[in-house]
Amino acid sequence: MRTFSRWKWPKPVMLGPIASSPPVPGVAPLSVWNPRANPRDAAQLMPIITPCYPSMNSSYNVGQPQLRRIQQELCRGEQIVNGIAAAGSGERGGGRKQRNAYEWEDLFAGKDFFRQHGHYLQVNIMARNAEDFRTWFGLCESRLRILIAGLESPEYGVQCYPFAKFFREKTLQAQGADGGGEDGGPHSHVTSFFVALRFAYGVENVDLRSCTEEFLYKVNAWDDRKWGMDLTIEHRTREHLPPFVFEEDDDDCSGSEMRKTDRKTTTATVQALRAAAEAEGTKAEDDRPDLSCASGDGGNKSGHASSLPTNPSPHKRARKNLPG
């Protein structure tokens, strides 16, 4: 933990030298990780290289938000372990146990992500039946890194913290978003993903339209999109989060469940999302700038609109563009 809490990224983590050619005759030459020859490899923030041919970066899609969170958690872990070691050495030396000393359970304690931040974006992925949902979910999941990377804006003092799990909304899944049963409504299958937002001190207005519109355009423009495959993005404050995020039943979090259902539709994005943290940010939670958001309807099909409401509201389908 001490080693990686102080690791100088993007220095690569490797178990051995990178083999540039196949290990045995008859194996077709494949592309290997090479930051000197490939600008895309050079731009990766957290290279962890696989030890066998072809050597690749197993964490190629870790962005700045995920890297920052991993580093924060590693530093926190080192602090806890050092505190435990210091308390133990004091007791063995006949000294008194330090007050507020760390325990091992502190190292593994979870964090209450949905009470630690003031602003969230809720991304809802919806479809009318299980087969369409698996396909649509895989596509949207593979594009989430575009949204996360776009939300992170040092220029405007914005930091984002993606939550590492997806939530299935039981009430909507059972009744359908429009009141239908299984496969009976346009949105019988709904899964939500959350991104927390933190803002630098003094930021009063934030315009997220450019990054959300780009993300929605790339998703909506998919050629195989069918009727009932929809995606919405909603801005929510902590007070207006949906009740299901506070339920302690892990069955509501379907990240692992989705993989059991159909591993072929999942992508490497979740590897980065699972590494992303439930964590602290840069600004007091009560400082809440106005968020300016807009819908991105480029490439919509069958009249379906995916939009981003500017005001917190109960879950609903948003079909109209918002005024700029």
CATH of the domain at 223: 3.30.70.590
> What pLDDT does residue 247 have?
77
Same domain, 19 and 141: no
Same domain, 64 and 178: no
> Quick one: what percent of the chain has pLDDT higher than 70?
67
CATH number at residue 102: 1.10.1410.10
Domain C-terminal end among 94, 109, 124? 109
pLDDT at 230 over 60: yes
pLDDT at 189 over 50: yes
Quickly tell me which residue has 């019988």 as its tokens.
188
Instruction: Give the pLDDT confidence of 126-178 residue by residue, as tens digits.
Output: 999 999 999 999 999 988 988 988 888 877 788 889 998 899 875 444 444 44
Higher pLDDT, 245 or 286: 245
Asked if the structure places residue 22 within a domain, the reply is yes
Same domain, 186 and 260: yes
Asked if the structure places residue 137 within a domain, the reply is yes
Tally of domains in the chain: 2
- What is the b/e burial string over 237-269, where b = at least 16 CB atoms within 10 angstroms of the residue's CB? ebeebbebbeeeeeebbbbeebeeeeeebbbeb
Same domain, 122 and 103: no
Same domain, 71 and 167: no
Alpha helices in the chain (DSSP H): 2-5, 39-42, 64-92, 104-108, 130-151, 170-175, 209-220, 255-261, 269-275
Same domain, 68 and 151: no
Task: Decide the pairing of beta strands 119-127 and 189-199.
Answer: antiparallel
Helices 64-92 + 130-151 axis angle, to 10: 80
Range of the domain at 18: 1-109
Residue 131 sits at φ, ψ, to 5 deg, of -65, -45
Average pLDDT over residues 71-89: 88
Q: Which two tokens stand for residue 155?
A: 């220029």
Q: Which DSSP category does 164 fall into?
A: S
Same domain, 92 and 139: no
Q: Per residue, what are the HEC states of 31-48?
A: CCCCCCCCHHHHCCCCCE
Asked if the structure places residue 300 within a domain, the reply is no
pLDDT at 34 over 90: yes
Same domain, 139 and 58: no
Same domain, 21 and 98: yes
Same domain, 85 and 71: yes
pLDDT at 39 over 90: yes
Same domain, 93 and 144: no
Instruction: Give the pLDDT confidence of 259-291 residue by residue, as tens digits.
Output: 333 333 333 333 333 333 333 334 434 444 554
Domain C-terminal end among 109, 144, 176? 109
Indicate the pLDDT class of residue 309, thresholds 50, 70 and 90: very low
Asked if the structure places residue 51 within a domain, the reply is yes
> What pLDDT does residue 225 have?
92
Indicate the pLDDT class of residue 110, thresholds 50, 70 and 90: confident
pLDDT at 53 over 60: yes
| DSSP reduced 3-state for 267 | coil
Same domain, 125 and 216: yes
> What pLDDT does residue 206 have?
80
Asked if the structure places residue 302 within a domain, the reply is no
